[in-house]
Amino acid sequence: MAEKQKMVKIHILGEPFYVPDGLTIINALEYAGFQLTHGIGCREGFCGACGTIFRKKGDYKLQAGLACQTIVSEGMYLAQIPFVPAEKPIYDITKLPPDITSFKELYPVIFRCVACNTCTKSCPQDLEVMDYVQALIKGDVEKTADLSFDCIRCGLCALRCPAEIVQYNAAILARRLCGRYLLKESRDLTNRVKEIAEGDYDTELDELVKMDEDKLKKKYYEREIKLFD
């Protein structure tokens, strides 16, 4: 006789639901009947679309995470935050110097950082968010770009920041400035861009576009993944 599936009671936007234990929040939402058109993206990766805030039973602490990673638990209260409104200045990267003056002009709020480390604790990627903000305050654009390289811009750091800093937008400017001005030119990248412009991959792209969903999934999951040290 098959073992009965254990169910847990969770609250979604204040409404109670019973869902199978062990599901991610995304799967639990769909099990409960929600049709997700916002706040969902890659499902199996790190696109940053499914930001969620939640509180576990018996825990005073309000936590944040990605719904595709976070497992539901008995008594959890949760609400998705699919979009975090944030300041995003418009700029021309070719007219900005790769130093602190660009951030003084476009993101002066970073200097309000109180080094509380709430942003780092909120990051689902375990990035040292406070460290890259502090590096930026000191004018180290390259270090900021390096520490924030894996940022997926989910917005959870900005959501929890008491100084109301938009860390991830400042970080992406640092990466853009670093890539344009501070890093050495990559011959491989230059060659690949040239190949794309000359249409070397047009045939393969057309084949992918014409594939049905099943074949596309099969090709994706059977692809060779190269790991680098």
Q: How far apart are CA 219 and CA 198, in angstroms?
A: 25
On the question of pLDDT at 140 being above 90, the answer is yes
User: CA–CA separation, 81 vs 87, rounded Å?
Assistant: 17
| Percent of the chain at pLDDT exceeding 90 | 76
Task: Dig out the tokens for 151 from the structure.
Answer: 């940022």
Using the predicted structure, report yes or no on whether residue 143 has a pLDDT greater than 60.
Answer: yes
pLDDT for residue 228:
56
Q: How confident is the model at residue 171 (pLDDT cuts 50, 70, 90)?
A: very high
pLDDT band at 212 (very low <50, low <70, confident <90, very high): very high
d(CA 49, CA 153): 9
Q: What does the pLDDT read at residue 162?
A: 94
Kindly state the average pLDDT of the residues 189-212: 94
pTM of the model: 0.79
* Confidence band of 227 (pLDDT split at 50, 70, 90): low
Which distant-in-sequence residues (6+ apart) come within 8 Å of 151 by Cβ? 125, 127, 168, 171, 172
Q: What is the DSSP string of 79-115?
A: EE------------GGGS-SSHHHHHHH-GGGGG---
Residues 59-72 pLDDT 10s: 998 999 999 989 99
Which homologous superfamily is 93-182 in?
Alpha-helical ferredoxin (1.10.1060.10)
Bridge partner list, 7: 20
pLDDT tens across 2-49, in order? 578 899 999 999 999 999 999 999 999 999 999 887 777 777 667 888
Listed in sequence order, the residues at least 6 apart from 170 whose beta carbon sits closer than 8 Å to its beta carbon are 103, 106, 107, 110, 133, 136, 144
Section 165-181 average pLDDT: 96
Domain 7-80, architecture per CATH: Roll (3.10)
Q: pLDDT tens digits for 72-94?
A: 999 999 998 878 888 889 999 99
- Please report which helix (H) or strand (E) contains residue 176, including its range: helix 167-177
Give, in degrees to the nearest 5, the angle at Cα 211 between 209 and 213. 110
Q: What percent of the chain has pLDDT over 70?
A: 96
Q: To the nearest whole number, what is the mean pLDDT of the chain? A: 92
Report the C-alpha gap between 20 and 31 in whole angstroms. Answer: 8
Where do the structural domains in the chain lie, given as residue ranges?
7-80, 93-182, 192-221
Token pair for 102: 């660009």
pLDDT higher than threshold 60 for residue 197: yes
Strand partners, 55: 77
